[in-house]
Amino acid sequence: MTPRLPSHFSPAFTLLEMLLAISIMSMILVAIHGVFFTALHLRNATIEAVEGSQPVEEALGIIQNDLANLAASTNGVIIGPLQTTSTSNSLPNQIGPDFYTSGGELDGMVPWGCIQKVDYLLAAPTNGVRGPGRDLIRAITRNLLPINQPPQPDEQHAILSGVQTLTFLYYDGSQWDPIWDTTQQTNLPQAVKVQIRMASYPGAGAGAQLELVVPVDVLLNTNPVAAIQ
């Protein structure tokens, strides 16, 4: 006969069963940890890529808006020429010519709205972060009335960091020219190309090349309004 166990006795796991259960739980935890770590790494990489592309897209959008709203010179008093080689009052670290641009809409009272002079500068970072490249700065001058001294920019904003070079090219209808002078050619280019070379860390290869082409479509008001008698 099989001996009967006391009524107060309760069966328990053996040491081998405990070790086997612990091993299985450990493998499950390791698998869960690997999946979680991979998902976390992918999330961080995605956020970093999105955050890294936002400043570039915003900077290209600002430059595109400035070039798309170039203001042609009508009398040479308020709106200045587009000159790449004879820029007067060149600002320190200035890249390219002075761009006279309008951010407003045309109406029946004034030929241009919100006219301002925009200059692009490449300067060393001033926010304490010393990475590769320089800051692309957009300088805005709104006081364009003739005065004794050339006006200084009213605002300067860094729109992109880590820039190595910035190049402007001008399309004359057949080729891209590195220089332009409206005092000699009496016209704006048909398009402006902006090439931005981003800097890279040592050993990381060449920096990214950004390119933006903006058609110049300027409508001049050639119909003078006769005075009402």
**What confidence tier does 132 reach under pLDDT thresholds 50, 70, 90?**
confident
Q: How far apart are the first and last CA of the chain?
A: 132
- CA gap 45, 146 in Å, rounded: 52
What pLDDT score was predicted for residue 195? 92
Question: How many other CB atoms are there within 10 angstroms of residue 13's CB atom?
Answer: 10
Instruction: Give percent above pLDDT 70 in the chain.
Output: 67
DSSP 68-108: HTB---SSSSSS---BSSS-TTPPTTEEEEEEEEE-S---S
**What confidence tier does 229 reach under pLDDT thresholds 50, 70, 90?**
very low
Measuring CA to CA, how many Å separate 64 from each of 7, 73, 129? 88, 20, 27
Measuring CA to CA, how many Å separate 143 from each of 29, 76, 91, 122? 67, 15, 16, 23
